[in-house]
């Protein structure tokens, strides 16, 4: 099945941002045009009640409009890594220039039988395309379904609010 124009546009945005982020992470002295704020939970790795191992890292990639007198920030992407017991999860939120969620990705790492991956593509606050890949042993434990588009948008809104609070503290 051929991907829609919306999906192709989002993939292009994702790829270009990914290339810019790779330059940022390369640690040379060349400015990459983005800022990065990182929040970590349980960085020293103490056992978490009822879970055991639990650590998260949230990366907020954003830019700043230097032309305005009052700083104006645009959040482009959030990357979340979660280590929970013996499971590793990776989550990504991609936003357009207006701050709208356009893409959400979730991956539960594992082999072909125990992994999960979900992609939600949005346009104008509506789910455009949904894709999933779930290992056979995970079918009864799927983290998301196609019906979770509204839930994903709400999570993105909470993450956006966290980002705004973070900047207000600076």
Identify the bridge partners of residue 40 per DSSP, sorted by sequence position: 57
pLDDT string in tens for the chain (170-residue length): 678 999 999 999 999 999 999 988 887 667 788 999 999 988 877 777 777 888 999 999 999 887 777 778 999 999 999 998 888 999 999 999 999 999 999 999 988 898 999 999 999 999 999 999 999 999 999 999 999 999 999 999 999 999 999 888 65
The continuous run of DSSP H or E covering 91 comes out as strand 87-95
User: What pTM does this model have?
Assistant: 0.91
Residues 6+ apart with CB under 8 A from 131: 118, 119
């Amino acid at each position: 099945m051929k991907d829609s124009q919306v999906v192709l546009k989002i993939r292009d945005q994702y790829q270009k941002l990914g290339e810019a982020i790779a330059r940022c992470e390369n640690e040379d002295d060349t400015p990459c045009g983005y800022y990065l704020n990182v929040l970590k939970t349980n960085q020293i790795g103490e056992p978490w009640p009822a879970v055991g191992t639990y650590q998260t890292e949230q990366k907020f990639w954003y830019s700043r409009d230097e032309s305005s007198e009052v700083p104006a920030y645009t959040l482009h992407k959030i990357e979340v890594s979660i280590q929970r017991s013996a499971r590793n999860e990776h989550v990504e939120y991609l936003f357009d220039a207006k701050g709208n969620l356009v893409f959400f990705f979730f991956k539960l790492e594992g082999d072909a039988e125990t992994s999960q991956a979900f992609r939600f593509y949005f346009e104008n606050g509506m789910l455009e395309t949904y894709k999933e890949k779930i290992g056979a042993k995970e079918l009864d434990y799927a983290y998301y379904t196609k019906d979770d588009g509204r839930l994903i948008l709400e999570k993105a809104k909470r993450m956006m609010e966290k980002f705004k609070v973070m900047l207000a503290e600076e």
